[in-house]
Amino acid sequence: MFNTLKPQAPDKILALMGQFKADPRPTKIDLGVGVYKDATGLTPVMRAIKAAEKQLWETETTKTYTALAGEPAYHAAMAEMVLGADYPKDRLSALATVGGTGACRQGFELARMANPGCTIWVSDPTWPNHLSILSFMKQDYKLYRYFDNASRSVSFDAMIEDLGAVKPGDVVLLHGCCHNPTGANLTLEQWGVVADLLEAKGAIPMIDLAYQGFGDGLDEDAAGTRLIASRLPEVMIAASCSKNFGIYRERTGILMVLTDAATRDVTQGTLAYLNRQNYSFAPDHGARLVTMVLTDPALRAEWMAELEEVRLGMLGLREALAAELRQLSNSDRFDFVAKHRGMFSRLGATPEQVETMRVDNAIYMVGDSRLNIAGLNSETVPILAKAIIASGA
Tens digit of each residue's pLDDT (9 = 90 or more) over 83-129? 999 999 999 999 999 999 999 999 999 999 999 999 999 999 999 99
Q: Of 264, 256, 200, whose CA–CA distance to 231 is shortest? A: 200
CB 32 within 8 A of CB 366: yes
Q: Which residue of the set 162, 208, 221, 284 is catalytic?
A: 208
Bridge partners, 124 (sequence order): 145
Kindly report, residue by residue over 271-316, the tens digit of the pLDDT.
999 999 999 999 999 999 999 999 999 999 999 999 999 999 999 9
CATH of domain 11-45+310-391: 3.90.1150.10
Bridge partners, 174 (sequence order): 207
Q: What is the pLDDT of residue 12?
A: 79
Q: What is the pLDDT of residue 183?
A: 97
Peptide bond into 233 cis (omega under 30): no
DSSP 291-357: HHHHHSHHHHHHHHHHHHHHHHHHHHHHHHHHHHHHHHHTSSTTTHHHH--SSEEE----HHHHHHH
Task: Look at the domain 65-295 and name its fold.
Answer: Aspartate Aminotransferase; domain 2 (3.40.640)
Reported in sequence order, the residue ranges of the chain that DSSP labels E, i.e. its strands, are 29-30, 92-98, 120-124, 141-145, 147-148, 153-154, 171-175, 204-209, 235-240, 252-258, 344-346, 363-364, 370-372
Q: What is the pTM of this model?
A: 0.96
Q: Which residue of the set 162, 243, 303, 374 is catalytic?
A: 243
Q: Low-confidence residues of the chain, pLDDT below 50?
A: none
Q: What is the pLDDT of residue 372?
A: 95
- 282 catalytic, yes or no? no
Q: What is the pLDDT of residue 34?
A: 85
CB 207 within 8 A of CB 235: yes
Q: What is the pLDDT of residue 335?
A: 97
- 127 catalytic, yes or no? yes
CB 347 within 8 A of CB 318: no
Q: Nearest 5 degrees, angle CA 233-CA 234-CA 240?
A: 130
Query: In which residue ranges of the chain is CATH 3.40.640.10 found?
Result: 65-295
* 200, 118, 175, 302 alpha-carbon torsion, rounded to 10°: 110
Q: Is the dihedral of CA 190, 191, 192, 198 positive or negative?
A: positive
* 146, 200, 93, 172 alpha-carbon torsion, rounded to 10°: -20
CB 251 within 8 A of CB 102: yes
Alpha-carbon 46 to chain mean position = 19
DSSP 214: S
Q: Which residue of the set 203, 210, 322, 349 is catalytic?
A: 210
DSSP strand pairing (204-209 vs 171-175):
parallel
d(CA 372, CA 364): 10
- 386 catalytic, yes or no? no
Residue 166: Cβ within 10 Å count: 21
Q: Could you tell me the CA-to-CA distances from 153 to 138, 227, 255, 278 in Å, in that order?
A: 31, 22, 29, 38
Q: What is the pLDDT of residue 41?
A: 87
Query: In which residue ranges of the chain is CATH 3.90.1150.10 found?
Result: 11-45+310-391
Q: What is the pLDDT of residue 13?
A: 81
Q: Which residue of the set 30, 51, 121, 127 is catalytic?
A: 127
- 210 catalytic, yes or no? yes
Q: What is the pLDDT of residue 10?
A: 80
Q: What is the pLDDT of residue 8?
A: 87
